[in-house]
Amino acid sequence: SQQGEEDPQALSIQEGENATMNCSYKTSINNLQWYRQNSGRGLVHLILIRSNEREKHSGRLRVTLDTSKKSSSLLITASRAADTASYFCATGFKGGSEKLVFGKGTKLTVNP
């Protein structure tokens, strides 16, 4: 399977703490993307990191990509209760495919 796998499946932290979520995949990729989903809603795109990039920042978000280990991490710093959501990684593959393959997600709960 080419599916990404997030780790952990669930994470509960206190407001102000950092949250780290990991994603592993199995095949060569063109890019890796992180999405957020609030309960019962659609997905919101957070960050896209290309296969030739190692790290990317956006506000309180930091994404790393290690293609040798086929893994990525999403770090949310100084978390807020509003960050409570499910976070998915999705991989886009080489060879021109436009499809994304989503992992199972990490459910993050930030307690106030």
Partner 1 sequence: GAVVSQHPSRVICKSGTSVKIECRSLDFQATTMFWYRQFPKKSLMLMATSNEGSKATYEQGVEKDKFLINHASLTLSTLTVTSAHPEDSSFYICSARAPPTGWSNQPQHFGDGTRLSIL
What tokens appear for 26 in the block?
Answer: 């199995």
The least distance separating partner 1 from the CB of residue 16, rounded to whole angstroms, comes to: 27
- From candidates 63, 101, 108, 110, binder to partner 1 by CB under 8 A: 101
Q: Which residue stretch of 19-27, 62-70, 77-85, 103-111 sits at the interface with partner 1 (rule: CB under 8 A)?
A: 103-111
Q: How far apart are CA 58 and CA 46, in angstroms?
A: 8
| Residue 25 engages partner 1 in binding (rule: CB under 8 A) | no
- Asked if 89 and 33 touch (Cβ cutoff 8 Å), the reply is yes
Neighbours of 2 (CB within 10 A): 12
3 and 101 Cβ atoms separated by less than 8 Å: yes
Candidates 11, 65, 84, 103; binder of partner 1 (CB under 8 A) is: 103
Six-digit token string for 71: 């893994």
Pairing of strands 43-50, 29-37: antiparallel
Nearest distance from residue 43's CB to partner 1, in Å? 4
CB of 27 to partner 1, least distance (A): 16
What is the contact surface with partner 1 in residues (CB under 8 A)? 3, 30-31, 33, 35, 40-45, 48, 50, 88, 92, 98-105
